[in-house]
Structure 1
Amino acid sequence: MVAELISVGTEILLGNIVNTNAAYLAEKCALLGLSLYHQSVVGDNEARMEDTIRRALERSDVVILTGGLGPTKDDLTKEVTAKVFGKELYEDARTKERIQEFFNRLHSKGKITRNNWKQALVPEGAIVIENQNGTAPGLIVTGEEGTEYEGKRAILIPGPPNECIPMFETQIAPYLSGLQPEGIYSCMVKVCSIGESRAETMVADLMDAQTNPTLAPYAKTGEVHFRITAKAKDEKTAEQLMAPMVQELKNRFGDYIYTTKEEVTLEEAVVHMLEERHMTVTTAESCTGGLLSGRLINVPGASSVLNEAHVTYSNEAKERILHVPHEILVQYGAVSEETARAMAEGACKVSGADASIAVTGIAGPDGGTPEKPVGLVYIGCTVKGKTKVERCCFTGNRQKNREYAVARGLILLREMLLEAK
């Protein structure tokens, strides 16, 4: 089944807001086994919107439209879609009731403006999808037998992500899944400590021979994720199909795999390793300025392993808080292997932690020299008295350099924890 996405809104077309809905829906459609060949963005113009919808319906089975379902005059998605399918609009009593209930919950009784009732108008014969987070319902419009778009479907979803995503997850995804002859199921294998090119080379033969299940790599910051996807009549059968592929990846990547659960992050895996070993960790950050400790604190229950963290941006702070020797800073500089080592070891001593990660570098865009260019970062890690320092040269902007440094710091800690077991 072929699907197509249309994002409605002049604010998207002009770049005033980032089109996150399209990225989210494209990924979800792929996971549902839908073929996605086209995406479009159209402004709030009736003629251009009609042309875009008609063109999409001519080449796709399902057209998913987001946005343009609000109460104002420039919200035209529903009206134009009804026109394309040759359907009249009528006031849906249940939707009107829900709009009233929504305003009552907001203590806005009596303040509903007339144009709000525009959202209670729906195309005849449409499936109305209740919106648990707003006033505009979702709609599924199907072409009638004998009409120009017989059997074609248009699915209309509110634009705000906090309305779009829950509606798709809970109601539209199950509907689309039901249209497929087989269900689509997937699992994830997440790998770190290895680059994308090498990781893909290690599974090239599996990808060349894939049929069902399929294998697809995705590069993330400092990581590579492999999604295994199977078509099957039910989840149990899909799991049986995917199990040999998962095992083969385990055979090939071994400890490079940090999880086979999609919801588990790298920082979560590291925190769990520390918990299992009854160990604590601290951080000593310069150029990352708390980004590393923030990643760890993202994990619920991180307080069981992280008691304190240090941001020592200046040389004075490195000396005073971490006891980095003044001589090291003078002789080698703040961005050096020697300073990273002293930061990591000092952090363990002052905190009493079993492990530490230290980061010092030049994130940019200024401050680099021929000897120490922008993107040069030293990462030190101490685990049970043993210290390693890694020299990294990143090539992104300031934010990306900091993000890569954080990811590499977590990976280095994980590697040393594995060595120490």
Structure 2
Amino acid sequence: MTVELISVGTEILLGNIVNTNAAYLAEKLAMLGLSCYHQSVVGDNEERLEDAIRLALDRSDIVILGGGLGPTKDDLTKEVTAKVFGRELQEDAHTRERIQEYFDRLQRKNPITENNWKQAMVPEGAVVVDNHNGTAPGLILEGENGKTAILLPGPPNEMIPMFDRDIAPYLNRLQPEGIYSKMVKVCSVGESRAETMVKDLMEQQSNPTLAPYAKTGEVHFRVTAKAADEESADALMQPMLEELSRRFGKNIYTMDENVTLEEAVILLLKEKGMTLTTAESCTGGLLAGQLMNVPGASAVYEEGYITYSNAAKEKLLGVKHETLEQYGAVSYETASEMAVGAAKAAGADAALSVTGIAGPDGGTKDKPVGLVYVGCCVNGRVRTEEFHFTGNRRKNRDYAVVRALTLLREELL
């Protein structure tokens, strides 16, 4: 079964926003075992959008359109798709009620206007998919010729949960056999080494299949099985999952696709009844922010420190003046003292410190851009690691955060 993606919006064509929706949907469709041979972006133009929809329906079984479901005149996706399918628009009472409830919750901060009711108009015979994060419902139009159009809202925080909750199960049901998968997330192992460790499994695969995905400082393995039901798929995948567990051991931090590394670390701290603090220089709060993305992180994290200057490192963390004079702010010794000092200042069981040269300037021959030291203090025991990253400023900082979380996890284990 083939699926085609059409992203709607002039702002995408102009580069005002990055089309992350298409990347997300393409990966999800592949996981569902669906073939996606074409993707396109169309501006807010009725004629060009109609041409794109007709072409997509001519060569694909299902067309997923993202965006253009808003209340303004240039939001044309629903109207043009209805025209292509030969359907009239009619008001959906359920959607109108949900829109009213949405604006009632805003308590007049953003009062409803007449054009908002445009979103309650749906093509005749369409399946309405409730939007739990906005006002534009999703729509499924099934044609008499076996062709289907699926309309999704453009904002990622509306599109992603709608696709995961309702559209993915719908697509899975259309196939003679379901596609089921498990994610194995690995840290502390580089991409090349990780792939080498499973090369034989990938060469022998049939059903289930094994696919690696390189992430920032991590490697994820997706195990996918085709089966009549989830129970049968689990039975097929289990030997592969057990073999991956045998090979990677404690480097696997989760087999839950929705769990992130920072969530795994926070959970580990909770299980051990320990608290955490952070002391950051080159990452400037990025590490703390990553941890704060985890709901309930406040149970283990109370305070942190951003100490860019040497004076701040001395004043807030107790780094010795002599250490900074002799070894410099970017050094093994400073990172170690930052971690110890942060733990003491915060009264925390564990502390992470990061100091380095993120770039693009500031590097020297002895201390080049990308040099980062990460310190980890757990119950008074200190371990500090030196890293050499080769990306731009943003990438270097991102990698530093992942390496810090990985180091803390290793020490907690």
Q: TM-score, normalised by structure 2?
A: 0.90
Task: Find the aligned partners of 1:72 and 1:132 in 2 and give their Cα distance.
Answer: 20
Instruction: Give the aligned partner of residue 212 of structure 2.
Output: 217
Instruction: Give the aligned partner of residue 43 of structure 1.
Output: 43
Residue 101 (str. 1) matches residue 100 (str. 2)? yes
Structure 1 residues 136, 289: closer, same or farther in 2, change over 3 A?
closer
- Unaligned 5+ runs, structure 2: none
Identify which range, 129-138 or 374-383, moves more after superposition. Answer: 129-138
RMSD in angstroms over aligned alpha carbons?
Answer: 2.5
Cα displacement (A) at 1:307: 4.1
- SS in structure 2 at match of 1:372: coil
Task: Find the aligned partners of 1:339 and 1:366 in 2 and give their Cα distance.
Answer: 20
AA of the residue aligned to 2:150: I
Q: Deviations over 1:100-129 (max 9, x none)?
A: 73587367899643x555445443443333
- SS in structure 2 at match of 1:17: coil
Q: Deviations over 1:51-88 (max 9, x none)?
A: 21122112211001112233433222233223333x14
Task: Find the aligned partners of 2:33 and 2:67 in 1 and give their Cα distance.
Answer: 24
Cα displacement (A) at 1:40: 0.8
Q: 8 Å contact 1:68–1:74 — kept in the other structure?
A: yes
Instruction: Give the aligned partner of residue 10 of structure 2.
Output: 10
Task: Find the aligned partners of 2:124 and 2:254 in 1 and give their Cα distance.
Answer: 48
How do residues 40-79 of structure 1 correspond to structure 2 at under 5 angstroms? 40-79=40-79
Cα displacement (A) at 1:237: 1.5
Task: Find the aligned partners of 1:305 and 1:349 in 2 and give their Cα distance.
Answer: 15
- Indicate the percent of aligned positions where both proteins have the same amino acid: 69
Task: Find the aligned partners of 2:8 and 2:376 in 1 and give their Cα distance.
Answer: 49
Q: 8 Å contact 1:53–1:81 — kept in the other structure?
A: yes
Instruction: Give the aligned partner of residue 393 of structure 1.
Output: 388
- SS in structure 2 at match of 1:348: helix
- Unaligned 5+ runs, structure 1: 145-149
Q: 8 Å contact 2:95–2:137 — kept in the other structure?
A: no
Instruction: Give the aligned partner of residue 90 of structure 2.
Output: 91
Cα displacement (A) at 1:403: 1.6
Task: Find the aligned partners of 2:113 and 2:411 in 1 and give their Cα distance.
Answer: 61
Instruction: Give the aligned partner of residue 184 of structure 1.
Output: 179
Q: 8 Å contact 1:95–1:130 — kept in the other structure?
A: no
Q: 8 Å contact 1:89–1:121 — kept in the other structure?
A: no
Q: 8 Å contact 1:7–1:40 — kept in the other structure?
A: yes
Q: 8 Å contact 2:103–2:112 — kept in the other structure?
A: no
Q: 8 Å contact 1:96–1:117 — kept in the other structure?
A: no
Residue 259 (str. 1) matches residue 254 (str. 2)? yes
Identify which range, 259-268 or 243-252, moves more after superposition. Answer: 259-268
Structure 1 residues 386, 327: closer, same or farther in 2, change over 3 A?
same
Structure 1 residues 278, 33: closer, same or farther in 2, change over 3 A?
same
Instruction: Give the aligned partner of residue 295 of structure 1.
Output: 290
Task: Find the aligned partners of 2:340 and 2:112 in 1 and give their Cα distance.
Answer: 63
How do residues 80-159 of structure 1 correspond to structure 2 at under 5 angstroms? 80-85=80-85, 87-94=86-93, 97-98=96-97, 101-102=100-101, 105=104, 112-113=113-114, 115-144=115-144, 150-159=145-154
Q: TM-score, normalised by structure 1?
A: 0.89
Task: Find the aligned partners of 1:133 and 1:279 in 2 and give their Cα distance.
Answer: 35
Cα displacement (A) at 1:195: 0.7
Q: 8 Å contact 1:341–1:388 — kept in the other structure?
A: yes
AA of the residue aligned to 2:236: L
Structure 1 residues 139, 260: closer, same or farther in 2, change over 3 A?
closer
Q: Deviations over 1:209-239 (max 9, x none)?
A: 2111111111111111111111222222211
Task: Find the aligned partners of 2:323 and 2:200 in 1 and give their Cα distance.
Answer: 50
How do residues 332-347 of structure 1 correspond to structure 2 at under 5 angstroms? 332-347=327-342
AA of the residue aligned to 2:352: I
Q: Deviations over 1:291-334 (max 9, x none)?
A: 22333333344344334322222111212222222111111111
Structure 1 residues 333, 214: closer, same or farther in 2, change over 3 A?
same
Structure 1 residues 370, 91: closer, same or farther in 2, change over 3 A?
same
Identify which range, 87-96 or 9-18, moves more after superposition. Answer: 87-96
